[in-house]
Structure 1
Amino acid sequence: MASIEHHVLDRPSFDRPVKVLIVVSPYYKAIAENMVAGAKAEIEAAGATWDLIEMPGALEIPTAIGISERMSNFDGYVALGCVIRGETTHYETVCNDSSRALQLLGLQGLCIGNGILTVENVEQAEVRADPAGQNKGGGAAAAALHLIALARKWGRQDKGVGFKPASEYQLAGKTGTTTA
Protein backbone atom coordinates (compact mmCIF):
# COMPACT_ATOMS: atom_id res chain seq x y z
CA MET A 1 0.00 0.00 0.00
CA ALA A 2 1.40 3.40 -0.97
CA SER A 3 1.87 5.95 1.77
CA ILE A 4 1.17 9.64 1.31
CA GLU A 5 2.25 12.40 3.65
CA HIS A 6 -0.47 14.56 5.07
CA HIS A 7 -0.39 18.13 6.32
CA VAL A 8 -1.02 18.84 10.00
CA LEU A 9 -2.38 22.24 10.97
CA ASP A 10 -0.54 24.34 13.53
CA ARG A 11 -1.90 23.93 17.05
CA PRO A 12 -4.45 26.63 17.88
CA SER A 13 -3.80 29.05 20.73
CA PHE A 14 -6.33 30.40 23.19
CA ASP A 15 -6.62 33.58 25.22
CA ARG A 16 -9.10 32.06 27.68
CA PRO A 17 -9.09 28.66 29.43
CA VAL A 18 -10.31 25.67 27.44
CA LYS A 19 -11.88 22.60 29.07
CA VAL A 20 -12.30 19.41 27.03
CA LEU A 21 -14.12 16.21 27.90
CA ILE A 22 -12.57 12.98 26.64
CA VAL A 23 -15.22 10.28 26.25
CA VAL A 24 -13.70 6.86 25.71
CA SER A 25 -14.88 3.29 25.38
CA PRO A 26 -12.19 1.02 26.85
CA TYR A 27 -13.69 -2.04 25.14
CA TYR A 28 -10.21 -2.74 23.76
CA LYS A 29 -8.34 -1.43 26.80
CA ALA A 30 -4.75 -1.20 25.49
CA ILE A 31 -5.89 0.56 22.31
CA ALA A 32 -8.08 2.95 24.31
CA GLU A 33 -5.24 3.74 26.74
CA ASN A 34 -2.93 4.68 23.86
CA MET A 35 -5.57 6.90 22.30
CA VAL A 36 -6.29 8.63 25.61
CA ALA A 37 -2.55 9.24 26.13
CA GLY A 38 -2.32 10.90 22.72
CA ALA A 39 -5.43 13.01 23.34
CA LYS A 40 -4.26 14.15 26.79
CA ALA A 41 -0.84 15.14 25.44
CA GLU A 42 -2.37 17.22 22.62
CA ILE A 43 -4.86 18.95 24.92
CA GLU A 44 -2.16 19.77 27.47
CA ALA A 45 0.21 21.02 24.76
CA ALA A 46 -2.47 23.57 23.80
CA GLY A 47 -2.66 24.73 27.43
CA ALA A 48 -6.13 23.27 27.87
CA THR A 49 -7.49 21.04 30.62
CA TRP A 50 -9.40 17.80 30.27
CA ASP A 51 -11.73 15.49 32.12
CA LEU A 52 -12.31 11.84 31.25
CA ILE A 53 -15.33 9.56 31.32
CA GLU A 54 -15.70 5.97 30.14
CA MET A 55 -18.62 4.42 28.29
CA PRO A 56 -19.22 0.71 27.61
CA GLY A 57 -19.06 0.98 23.82
CA ALA A 58 -18.85 3.27 20.82
CA LEU A 59 -22.64 3.59 20.54
CA GLU A 60 -22.86 5.19 23.99
CA ILE A 61 -20.21 7.84 23.28
CA PRO A 62 -22.47 10.30 21.38
CA THR A 63 -25.18 10.01 24.04
CA ALA A 64 -22.64 10.70 26.77
CA ILE A 65 -21.46 13.78 24.88
CA GLY A 66 -25.03 14.99 24.43
CA ILE A 67 -25.77 14.56 28.15
CA SER A 68 -22.50 16.26 29.09
CA GLU A 69 -23.28 19.21 26.83
CA ARG A 70 -26.66 19.69 28.49
CA MET A 71 -25.54 19.08 32.07
CA SER A 72 -22.05 20.56 32.26
CA ASN A 73 -19.93 23.18 30.61
CA PHE A 74 -17.19 21.83 28.37
CA ASP A 75 -15.82 23.75 25.40
CA GLY A 76 -15.35 20.61 23.33
CA TYR A 77 -15.28 16.84 23.27
CA VAL A 78 -12.98 14.05 22.12
CA ALA A 79 -14.70 10.77 21.21
CA LEU A 80 -12.35 7.77 21.46
CA GLY A 81 -13.00 4.12 20.86
CA CYS A 82 -12.32 1.24 18.54
CA VAL A 83 -14.59 -0.96 16.46
CA ILE A 84 -12.98 -4.03 14.91
CA ARG A 85 -14.79 -5.91 12.15
CA GLY A 86 -16.21 -9.21 13.32
CA GLU A 87 -18.27 -11.93 11.72
CA THR A 88 -21.62 -10.12 11.77
CA THR A 89 -23.11 -6.90 10.41
CA HIS A 90 -23.01 -5.37 13.90
CA TYR A 91 -19.73 -3.70 12.84
CA GLU A 92 -21.48 -1.60 10.19
CA THR A 93 -24.24 -0.60 12.62
CA VAL A 94 -21.82 0.53 15.32
CA CYS A 95 -19.51 2.35 12.89
CA ASN A 96 -22.27 4.11 10.98
CA ASP A 97 -24.51 5.00 13.90
CA SER A 98 -21.78 6.30 16.23
CA SER A 99 -20.26 8.38 13.44
CA ARG A 100 -23.64 9.72 12.31
CA ALA A 101 -24.62 10.68 15.86
CA LEU A 102 -21.33 12.52 16.42
CA GLN A 103 -21.76 14.34 13.12
CA LEU A 104 -25.30 15.41 14.06
CA LEU A 105 -24.07 16.74 17.41
CA GLY A 106 -21.35 18.63 15.57
CA LEU A 107 -23.87 20.16 13.18
CA GLN A 108 -25.75 21.39 16.26
CA GLY A 109 -22.64 23.35 17.24
CA LEU A 110 -20.71 20.99 19.51
CA CYS A 111 -16.94 20.93 18.99
CA ILE A 112 -16.16 17.21 18.67
CA GLY A 113 -13.05 15.40 17.53
CA ASN A 114 -14.02 11.94 16.32
CA GLY A 115 -11.38 9.38 17.24
CA ILE A 116 -13.50 6.25 17.04
CA LEU A 117 -11.35 3.86 15.02
CA THR A 118 -13.08 1.58 12.54
CA VAL A 119 -10.64 -1.12 11.50
CA GLU A 120 -10.42 -4.61 10.07
CA ASN A 121 -8.11 -6.08 12.72
CA VAL A 122 -6.21 -5.45 15.97
CA GLU A 123 -2.95 -4.71 14.14
CA GLN A 124 -4.54 -1.79 12.27
CA ALA A 125 -5.96 -0.46 15.52
CA GLU A 126 -2.61 -0.66 17.32
CA VAL A 127 -0.82 1.32 14.59
CA ARG A 128 -3.51 4.01 14.55
CA ALA A 129 -3.73 4.28 18.36
CA ASP A 130 0.02 4.47 19.06
CA PRO A 131 0.92 8.01 20.23
CA ALA A 132 4.34 7.55 18.60
CA GLY A 133 2.69 6.27 15.40
CA GLN A 134 -0.44 7.59 13.73
CA ASN A 135 -1.67 9.03 17.06
CA LYS A 136 -5.36 9.14 16.16
CA GLY A 137 -6.21 10.09 19.77
CA GLY A 138 -4.02 13.17 19.46
CA GLY A 139 -5.52 13.90 16.05
CA ALA A 140 -9.06 13.76 17.44
CA ALA A 141 -8.06 16.12 20.26
CA ALA A 142 -6.47 18.49 17.72
CA ALA A 143 -9.71 18.47 15.69
CA ALA A 144 -11.74 19.37 18.79
CA LEU A 145 -9.30 22.17 19.65
CA HIS A 146 -9.50 23.60 16.11
CA LEU A 147 -13.30 23.58 16.28
CA ILE A 148 -13.21 25.32 19.67
CA ALA A 149 -10.90 27.98 18.20
CA LEU A 150 -13.30 28.47 15.27
CA ALA A 151 -16.33 28.70 17.57
CA ARG A 152 -14.55 31.29 19.69
CA LYS A 153 -13.46 33.26 16.64
CA TRP A 154 -16.99 33.60 15.29
CA GLY A 155 -19.05 33.10 18.43
CA ARG A 156 -19.59 34.87 21.68
CA GLN A 157 -18.50 33.84 25.14
CA ASP A 158 -21.61 32.64 26.93
CA LYS A 159 -20.15 29.58 28.58
CA GLY A 160 -18.12 29.90 31.76
CA VAL A 161 -16.45 27.09 33.61
CA GLY A 162 -18.86 24.87 35.53
CA PHE A 163 -22.64 24.90 35.62
CA LYS A 164 -24.77 27.84 34.50
CA PRO A 165 -26.26 29.91 37.31
CA ALA A 166 -30.02 29.53 37.70
CA SER A 167 -30.45 33.18 36.74
CA GLU A 168 -29.32 32.37 33.17
CA TYR A 169 -32.03 29.82 32.43
CA GLN A 170 -34.99 30.90 30.34
CA LEU A 171 -38.49 29.69 31.11
CA ALA A 172 -40.93 28.82 28.34
CA GLY A 173 -43.14 31.77 27.44
CA LYS A 174 -40.89 34.34 29.13
CA THR A 175 -38.26 36.57 27.60
CA GLY A 176 -34.98 37.55 29.22
CA THR A 177 -33.44 35.72 32.13
CA THR A 178 -35.08 34.58 35.32
CA THR A 179 -34.23 35.92 38.74
CA ALA A 180 -33.46 33.63 41.62
Structure 2
Amino acid sequence: MATELPPRPVSTSLAHRLAIVASEYHEQYVDGLIRSARRELETIAPAATLDVFRVPGSFEIALGVDRVAALQEPDAILAFGVIFDGETLHATLIAEAVTASLLQTSIRHALPVLHEILVVKTHEQARARCLDEKLNRGVEAARATVRMLGALAEVAVRKK
Protein backbone atom coordinates (compact mmCIF):
# COMPACT_ATOMS: atom_id res chain seq x y z
CA MET A 1 0.00 0.00 0.00
CA ALA A 2 1.20 3.50 -0.82
CA THR A 3 2.04 5.52 2.24
CA GLU A 4 1.40 8.94 0.75
CA LEU A 5 -0.63 10.59 -1.99
CA PRO A 6 0.92 11.45 -5.33
CA PRO A 7 1.84 15.11 -5.69
CA ARG A 8 -0.82 17.56 -6.80
CA PRO A 9 -0.70 18.08 -10.58
CA VAL A 10 -0.56 21.44 -12.29
CA SER A 11 -4.07 22.88 -12.24
CA THR A 12 -6.13 23.01 -15.41
CA SER A 13 -8.37 25.89 -16.42
CA LEU A 14 -10.24 23.80 -19.00
CA ALA A 15 -13.97 23.25 -18.50
CA HIS A 16 -13.85 19.46 -18.39
CA ARG A 17 -17.08 17.51 -17.93
CA LEU A 18 -16.47 14.93 -15.21
CA ALA A 19 -18.67 12.27 -13.67
CA ILE A 20 -18.56 10.12 -10.59
CA VAL A 21 -20.36 6.78 -10.49
CA ALA A 22 -20.55 5.68 -6.87
CA SER A 23 -22.01 2.84 -4.87
CA GLU A 24 -24.73 3.53 -2.31
CA TYR A 25 -23.47 0.57 -0.28
CA HIS A 26 -21.05 1.48 2.53
CA GLU A 27 -22.32 5.02 2.05
CA GLN A 28 -20.26 6.58 4.84
CA TYR A 29 -17.02 5.58 3.16
CA VAL A 30 -18.09 6.20 -0.43
CA ASP A 31 -19.42 9.65 0.50
CA GLY A 32 -15.98 10.39 1.95
CA LEU A 33 -14.40 9.53 -1.40
CA ILE A 34 -16.87 11.77 -3.23
CA ARG A 35 -16.36 14.71 -0.85
CA SER A 36 -12.59 14.45 -1.04
CA ALA A 37 -12.54 14.15 -4.83
CA ARG A 38 -14.92 17.09 -5.21
CA ARG A 39 -12.79 19.30 -2.91
CA GLU A 40 -9.59 18.38 -4.75
CA LEU A 41 -11.16 18.94 -8.18
CA GLU A 42 -12.42 22.37 -7.08
CA THR A 43 -8.77 23.25 -6.44
CA ILE A 44 -7.01 21.64 -9.42
CA ALA A 45 -9.80 21.85 -12.04
CA PRO A 46 -11.94 24.80 -10.95
CA ALA A 47 -13.70 25.19 -14.32
CA ALA A 48 -14.74 21.52 -14.45
CA THR A 49 -18.31 20.39 -13.93
CA LEU A 50 -18.94 17.28 -11.87
CA ASP A 51 -22.06 15.11 -11.94
CA VAL A 52 -22.56 12.29 -9.43
CA PHE A 53 -24.55 9.18 -10.32
CA ARG A 54 -25.37 6.61 -7.61
CA VAL A 55 -25.86 2.89 -8.12
CA PRO A 56 -26.87 0.28 -5.50
CA GLY A 57 -23.55 -1.53 -5.03
CA SER A 58 -20.04 -1.96 -6.36
CA PHE A 59 -21.07 -4.61 -8.89
CA GLU A 60 -23.54 -2.16 -10.46
CA ILE A 61 -20.80 0.44 -10.94
CA ALA A 62 -19.72 -1.38 -14.11
CA LEU A 63 -23.03 -0.83 -15.90
CA GLY A 64 -23.40 2.65 -14.44
CA VAL A 65 -20.01 3.72 -15.79
CA ASP A 66 -20.75 2.25 -19.21
CA ARG A 67 -24.11 4.05 -19.47
CA VAL A 68 -22.72 7.36 -18.21
CA ALA A 69 -19.90 7.09 -20.76
CA ALA A 70 -22.35 6.40 -23.60
CA LEU A 71 -25.15 8.81 -22.69
CA GLN A 72 -23.49 11.69 -20.82
CA GLU A 73 -20.19 11.70 -22.78
CA PRO A 74 -18.02 13.11 -19.97
CA ASP A 75 -14.30 13.72 -20.38
CA ALA A 76 -13.54 11.30 -17.51
CA ILE A 77 -15.36 9.12 -14.98
CA LEU A 78 -14.32 8.38 -11.42
CA ALA A 79 -15.70 5.08 -10.06
CA PHE A 80 -16.06 4.85 -6.26
CA GLY A 81 -17.04 1.83 -4.20
CA VAL A 82 -16.00 -0.09 -1.10
CA ILE A 83 -16.05 -3.88 -0.82
CA PHE A 84 -15.26 -5.65 2.43
CA ASP A 85 -13.27 -8.84 1.93
CA GLY A 86 -14.94 -11.63 3.87
CA GLU A 87 -14.59 -15.37 4.31
CA THR A 88 -15.83 -16.30 0.82
CA LEU A 89 -14.66 -15.36 -2.68
CA HIS A 90 -17.59 -12.97 -3.18
CA ALA A 91 -15.50 -9.78 -2.81
CA THR A 92 -12.80 -11.08 -5.15
CA LEU A 93 -15.33 -12.08 -7.81
CA ILE A 94 -17.04 -8.68 -7.69
CA ALA A 95 -13.76 -6.74 -7.71
CA GLU A 96 -12.34 -8.71 -10.64
CA ALA A 97 -15.52 -8.43 -12.71
CA VAL A 98 -15.87 -4.70 -12.11
CA THR A 99 -12.19 -4.08 -12.82
CA ALA A 100 -12.38 -5.89 -16.16
CA SER A 101 -15.55 -4.04 -17.11
CA LEU A 102 -14.13 -0.61 -16.23
CA LEU A 103 -11.07 -1.31 -18.36
CA GLN A 104 -13.23 -2.34 -21.32
CA THR A 105 -15.43 0.74 -20.96
CA SER A 106 -12.38 2.97 -20.82
CA ILE A 107 -10.93 1.45 -23.98
CA ARG A 108 -14.24 1.26 -25.87
CA HIS A 109 -15.05 4.92 -25.22
CA ALA A 110 -11.42 6.20 -25.27
CA LEU A 111 -12.20 7.69 -21.89
CA PRO A 112 -10.27 7.84 -18.62
CA VAL A 113 -12.09 5.73 -16.03
CA LEU A 114 -10.46 6.11 -12.63
CA HIS A 115 -10.86 2.93 -10.61
CA GLU A 116 -11.34 3.42 -6.88
CA ILE A 117 -13.36 0.33 -6.04
CA LEU A 118 -11.57 -0.42 -2.81
CA VAL A 119 -11.34 -3.92 -1.38
CA VAL A 120 -10.62 -3.67 2.33
CA LYS A 121 -10.48 -6.11 5.21
CA THR A 122 -11.40 -3.78 8.08
CA HIS A 123 -13.27 -0.59 8.86
CA GLU A 124 -9.92 0.89 9.90
CA GLN A 125 -8.61 0.34 6.35
CA ALA A 126 -11.78 1.86 4.89
CA ARG A 127 -11.49 4.92 7.15
CA ALA A 128 -7.83 5.43 6.22
CA ARG A 129 -8.58 5.32 2.49
CA CYS A 130 -11.93 7.09 2.40
CA LEU A 131 -12.16 9.50 5.33
CA ASP A 132 -8.63 10.39 6.40
CA GLU A 133 -6.54 12.97 4.55
CA LYS A 134 -3.20 11.16 4.37
CA LEU A 135 -4.11 8.31 1.98
CA ASN A 136 -7.48 9.42 0.68
CA ARG A 137 -8.30 7.61 -2.55
CA GLY A 138 -10.83 10.27 -3.58
CA VAL A 139 -8.02 12.84 -3.66
CA GLU A 140 -5.81 10.35 -5.48
CA ALA A 141 -8.50 9.74 -8.12
CA ALA A 142 -9.04 13.48 -8.64
CA ARG A 143 -5.32 14.03 -9.16
CA ALA A 144 -5.06 11.06 -11.51
CA THR A 145 -8.04 12.38 -13.49
CA VAL A 146 -6.39 15.74 -14.12
CA ARG A 147 -3.08 14.06 -14.97
CA MET A 148 -4.75 11.67 -17.40
CA LEU A 149 -6.73 14.41 -19.13
CA GLY A 150 -3.48 16.35 -19.54
CA ALA A 151 -1.69 13.28 -20.93
CA LEU A 152 -4.46 12.64 -23.46
CA ALA A 153 -4.45 16.29 -24.52
CA GLU A 154 -0.70 16.04 -25.11
CA VAL A 155 -1.17 12.92 -27.24
CA ALA A 156 -3.79 14.76 -29.32
CA VAL A 157 -1.49 17.76 -29.82
CA ARG A 158 1.40 15.54 -30.92
CA LYS A 159 -0.59 13.43 -33.38
CA LYS A 160 0.78 13.34 -36.90
Q: TM-score, normalised by structure 2?
A: 0.86
Identity of aligned residues (%): 23
- Structure number with the bigger relative contact order (C-alpha 8 A, sep ≥ 6) is 2
| Matched residue count | 154
Q: How does 1:1-180 map to 2 (within 5 A)?
A: 5-6=3-4, 8-46=6-44, 47=46, 48-108=48-108, 109-155=110-156
Q: RMSD across aligned C-alpha pairs, in angstroms?
A: 2.0
The answer on whether the counterparts of 1:12 and 1:149 sit within 8 Å (CA) in structure 2 is: no
Which structure: larger Rg? Answer: 1
Gaps of 5+ in 1: 157-180
How far apart are the structure 1 equivalents of 2:64 and 2:125? 26
Matched residue type, 2:18: V
Runs of 4+ in 1 over 3 A off after TM superposition: 3-7
Q: TM-score, normalised by structure 1?
A: 0.77
Q: Tell me the SS of whatever aligns to 1:45.
A: helix
Matched residue type, 2:62: P
User: What do the CA deviations read for 1:63-98 (whole angstroms, capped 9, x no partner)?
Assistant: 111111111121101100100012321111111111
Structure 2 vs 1, CA of residues 4 and 18 (structure 1 numbering), >3 Å: closer, same or farther?
closer
1:6 Cα offset (Å): 4.6
The answer on whether the counterparts of 2:32 and 2:138 sit within 8 Å (CA) in structure 1 is: yes
